Chain A
Amino acid sequence: MPLPLELRRATLAAHIVCSVGWLGAAAAYLALGVAAGVSRDVQIVRAAWIGMELTGWFVIVPLACFAFLTGLVLSLGTPWGLFRHYWVMIALMLTALSLVVLLLHMPSVSAAAALARTADDTSASQLGGDVVHPAVGLVVLVVVTVLNVHKPRGLTPYGQRKQADERGTKRRGVVRS
């Protein structure tokens, strides 16, 4: 169902804000993860893990959910569709995968943050950092952004069938008129 222009613009603005915000929040999380990993100051390790938990649950997860939802609305409410173009399909899959990994990863971040709050200095200093997840996540988000901006051509078989159907419908309309 096509979205009205104003609603489409509003959804697009929300989608851009959430997507760019997700990217920036993931970068901030990576900085905290690296700080927790390299610092020998146990207070920094504790603060970094608490910060990672708060950033994760209250910034990254909401932004990721809204970015995914607004992307779905834009796909279904515009001629781009969800499965017509390879770039849309790949961006959707990468976004969904990132969201699932994020939601699966956050409980262990909370557990580490709880340990950082309550453990003694020796245990807290052994927590280490969290670099792999945010780093890979950032790469995936950058790839999705590049796909969104570049929009490389290529119709899926489903998209080709839909296009052929639409052309057939238009031709039949012209012949009748």
Chain B
Amino acid sequence: MDHGAQKPARPAEPGIAVSRAGPRAGWVAGVPRWVKVFVITTLALVLLMVVVMLLSGGQHGPGRHLSSAGFEDESAQVTNTNLLSSDGTSAPSGR
């Protein structure tokens, strides 16, 4: 929000001073077209991301490559992986 970089000549109507169409061109009666385009594009992208997320099983974070134990059980996984040898077999328990 870089508001102060360019102080508007008339703060409530930025852009009017440089408008070729005259001062009234700064007034936008309804929602400006760029806002409509922006909102529609954003909604479409969000919808697309939700669909992709659902199709990929809902996992999109760093834990998506981990086992089904879930990323929340990371500490348990760490303990378990430390008990496994590099070929995946259980390490001797000492009993």
Interface residues of A (CB under 8 A from B): 8-9, 11-12, 15-16, 19, 49, 71-72, 74-75, 78-80, 84-86, 88, 90-92, 95, 105, 108-109, 111-112, 114-115, 118-123, 126-130, 132-133, 136, 144-145, 148-149, 151-155, 159, 162-163, 166
Contact = CB atoms under 8 A, between A and B. Distances in A.
Interface residues of B, number: 42
Nearest first, the 10 A-B pairs at minimum CB distance are A79-B11, A71-B1, A128-B65, A154-B32, A148-B2, A12-B4, A112-B62, A111-B74, A123-B81, A163-B12
B78 A119 contact: yes
Contacts, number: 138
A154 B35 contact: yes
11 contacts: A12-B3, A16-B5, A79-B8, A90-B35, A111-B62, A114-B74, A115-B66, A118-B81, A126-B66, A130-B62, A148-B3
- Tell me whether chain A's interface is mostly helix, strand or loop, or mixed: helix
A79 B1 contact: no
Nearest to B35: A86
Interface in B28-86: 28, 31-32, 34-35, 38, 49, 60-66, 71-72, 74-75, 77-78, 81-82, 84-86
B3 A111 contact: no
B71 A9 contact: no
A34 B65 CA distance: 14
Contact of B12 (A12, A84, A120, A132): A84
Contacts of A159: 12
Contacts of B93: none
Given A112-B71, A119-B81, 19 more contacts: A12-B5, A72-B1, A75-B1, A84-B12, A88-B3, A90-B35, A105-B61, A109-B62, A126-B65, A128-B64, A148-B2, A148-B3, A152-B34, A153-B15, A153-B26, A155-B12, A159-B12, A163-B12, A163-B13
